[in-house]
Amino acid sequence: MSLALVHSRARAGVQAPPVRVEVHLSGGLPCTQIVGLPEAAVRESRDRVRAALLCARFEFPARRITINLAPADLPKDGGRFDLPIALGILAASGQIDRQALSAHEFIGELALTGELRGVDGALPAAIAAAAAQRTLVVAPDNAAEAALARQASVKVARTLLEVCAALAGEKVLPDAAPAPTRPARQPDLADVRGHAHARRALEIAAAGGHHLLLVGPPGCGKTLLASRLPGILPDAGETEALETAAVASASGQGVDPTHWRQRPYRAPHHTASAVALVGGGAMPRPGEVSLAHNGVLFLDELPEWKRATLEVLREPLEAAQVTISRAARSAVFPARFQLVAAMNPCPCGWAGDRSGRCRCPGDAIARYRARLSGPLLDRIDLHLLVPRLPPADLHGQAATGETSATVRARVTQARERQLQRAGLPNAWLDPGGTLRDCVLAAAERALLDQAMERLQLSARSMHRILRVARTIADLAGGGPIERPHLAEAIGYRQLDRGPLDPSP
């Protein structure tokens, strides 16, 4: 029978759905046809495969070759099917044993010389192959990445000839070995002079996973503060780190195996498009919100972003995922990121500064602030006004604050309390979990009601205040929410109070 079946994996979002490469040889004029929704790069594989087989001194059958990539309704792209197509042709023509293929999965692009090249999405493919209890064969470029899936059996081959020799029992392919991890050097919070209030807000944001907006004049330290947030976040667990690495693998940017446990920090420029921010394309790929999954997304100069671009953040801020729909397919990408944004208080940047240099009229300041919609601001837990520091706080002799390691120890303890109580950080509690874990006594409930009436807060803002108060109580030892905790949480809704004034 001139039919062979080879197992492979496609790329669909951060998933790796199975693809069965079916190769059939029949009589007729010699030709090679690939069916099963192949994109241009997949259709071109017939020429790469033919040259690779001939260079490896195999016979390319002078027959009618039909290659079906099943399931037929799943679009296939890239050069990842070169290796399984080549093996299918060899097995169908009797040049290798087709029975040896059943326990393996193959992904890899073929050079014309028969060498294997790496492809996108090797880590999701390794995870899926492990679930199917098959051994995955990859190129050396994908070895360290695929080895991050510790439960997977991953073999490495440099050429098509090595794969064929291993299938014939003449050679043993080496296992994919993970690269040695190295601790990344994170910017230290001790570099931040002064700004005790901002450091406190940063610690609360890290402990509960809360979104944070920093408002202040140019050069006051907003970017400096934001860049210190990853260094005080709790260490990522293996499951979290694998999720983040899988997104990076599917994006085509690759995974750094030496720093794969590090939480991502993404800071796109304000000229980025909506597609760059949330993902998209004809073959959907993740955007910045997904690349920041389990990490930090920093948006500087927030009002300078296009309003339509910022509005696409609403869904991922609430749902922690992004659904990209296209005519041919749709993909779901995780997006459980922590947003840190920064903005000036007015167009010139100096409104409220003690120097009095701002000359922006009131309507210009109102228009500047109106670039940010109320629903978007409503989804940001902490609004913090950051003043310009006095010169005495900037000298080298000025006292420094706590180091990132000291703050991270407190943040980790608070986060562990949240995970033991609800299984997730306070910022991601649903309304039911918020009412269950953020119970207030009568006096604290009256204070919250008074704040909601005076500031005209929405129900979403009320829930976010309760979650922030719960985080503050967790930092204080994990007891019930008391009046000082609630008052501090209400104090962080500063943009709900009217004019922006970052002066001390």
Residue pLDDT, tens place only, 420-466: 999 999 999 999 999 999 999 999 999 999 998 888 888 888 999 99
Q: pLDDT (tens digit, 9 = 90+) per residue, 241-275?
A: 999 999 999 888 888 888 888 999 999 999 999 99
Is residue 75 within 8 A of residue 328, CB to CB? The reply is: yes
100 falls within a domain:
yes
178 falls within a domain:
no
Taking the model in full, what pTM does it have? 0.89
Residue ranges of the chain whose pLDDT lies below 70: 1, 328, 395-399, 496-504
d(CA 246, CA 148): 10
Same domain, yes or no: 153 and 217? no
Q: What is the largest CA-CA distance in the chain?
A: 88
127 falls within a domain:
yes
d(CA 207, CA 195): 18
CATH number at residue 140: 3.30.230.10
Same domain, yes or no: 461 and 393? yes
Same domain, yes or no: 339 and 209? yes
Structural domain count, the chain: 2
Q: Tell me, what's the pLDDT at 503?
A: 45
Q: Tell me, what's the pLDDT at 1?
A: 59
Q: Tell me, what's the pLDDT at 331?
A: 85
The whole-chain average pLDDT of the chain stands at 90
Which of 123, 247, 256, 252 lies closest to 179, judged by CA?
Answer: 256
Q: Tell me, what's the pLDDT at 398?
A: 64
Q: Tell me, what's the pLDDT at 337?
A: 95
Residue 67 is inside which H or E element, if any? strand 64-70
Same domain, yes or no: 232 and 158? no
Q: Taking CA 395 as the corner, what is the angle to CA 390 and CA 398, rounded to the nearest 5 degrees?
A: 90
Domain housing 162: 3-167
177 falls within a domain:
no
176 falls within a domain:
no
Q: Tell me, what's the pLDDT at 502?
A: 46
CATH number at residue 453: 3.40.50.300
Angstrom distances, CA of residue 274 to CA of 278, 282, 306, 331, 379: 6, 15, 9, 16, 18
Is residue 340 within 8 A of residue 268, CB to CB? The reply is: no
d(CA 342, CA 220): 11
Q: pLDDT (tens digit, 9 = 90+) per residue, 132-175?
A: 999 999 999 999 999 999 899 999 999 999 999 999 999 999 99
Q: Tell me, what's the pLDDT at 458?
A: 85
Label each residue of 343-398 as H, E or C: ECCCCCCCCCCCCCCCCCCHHHHHHHHCCCCHHHHHCCCEEEECCCCCHHHCCCCC
